[in-house]
Amino acid sequence: MVKFVGIAGSLRPGSYSQRALELTGDRLRALGAEVELLDLREMNLPLCHGGDDYPGYPDVERLRRAFSDADGLVLVTPEYHGSVSGVLKNALDLMSFDQLGGKVAGLISILGGQANSNALNDLRTILRWVHAWVVPEQVAIGQAWQVFDDGGKLTDAKLSQRLDGLAQSLYDNTRKLRGLA
């Protein structure tokens, strides 16, 4: 069985990034995957100091173990200042090739304004750097405040289809690349 782990790089209460993560997790589960979603708002992660050990922060180990165990990754970032949030980058900085290398990732970004691909492009390069794969499909959700309903579903059919496509590609190609197909 193919396993995914997902995180969203926003600590905002009511975060749209977290909602998009949950929608993607639902789709992957519906396809037959095992999915673990971590909520960074409920974890106590330190700022990365470049070393390996973070005594007093058991959530670092929890993060690393979840990523180690996964075949594929779902990463959602709010686009802050035209790039990945520091929150998400810091979580990735706390990990290394050991947890990230060889994994297959699907990427989503959330923007308050018009959609753009800056954060997705940067995240794609970052993941390449740790020798992860990134599926070609990606979703940038612009003007996020108006595309989610109260239940956290996407009201925009086109975006919803793009999320379907991302989940399907991530599921299928993770299985192929990880030899689980």
Q: E strands of the chain, at which residues?
A: 3-8, 34-37, 72-78, 104-110, 133-141
Count Cβ atoms within 10 A of the Cβ of residue 179 and give its class: 0-12 exposed, 13-18 middle, 19 or more buried: exposed
Per CB under 8 A, 31 contacts a copy of itself = no
Which of 28, 88 has the CB closer to a copy of itself? Answer: 88
Q: What backbone phi and psi angles, to 5 degrees, belong to 48?
A: -70, 130
Of the candidate spans 28-36, 68-76, 83-91, 147-155, the one that interacts with a copy of itself by CB under 8 A turns out to be 83-91
**Cβ contacts of 105 within 8 Å, gap of 6 or more:** 72, 73, 74, 75, 127, 132, 133, 134, 135, 170
Among 138, 144, 159, 171, binds a copy of itself (CB under 8 A): 138
Per CB under 8 A, 78 contacts a copy of itself = yes
Per CB under 8 A, 89 contacts a copy of itself = yes
Which of 87, 154 has the CB closer to a copy of itself? Answer: 87
Q: In angstroms, what is the minimal distance from the CB of 81 to a copy of itself?
A: 5
- Residue 42 is given by DSSP the state G
Sign of CA dihedral 139, 122, 136, 90: negative
Per CB under 8 A, 180 contacts a copy of itself = no
Q: Which of residues 44-63 bind a copy of itself (CB under 8 A)?
A: 45, 47-51
d(CA 160, CA 181): 26
Site string for a copy of itself, 95-124 (x = CB under 8 A): -------------------xxxxx--xx-x
d(CA 96, CA 29): 26
Of the candidate spans 23-31, 59-67, 89-97, 152-160, the one that interacts with a copy of itself by CB under 8 A turns out to be 89-97
- Report the interface residues with a copy of itself, using CB under 8 A: 10-12, 15, 45, 47-51, 78, 80-93, 114-118, 121-122, 124-126, 128-138, 173, 176-177, 179, 181
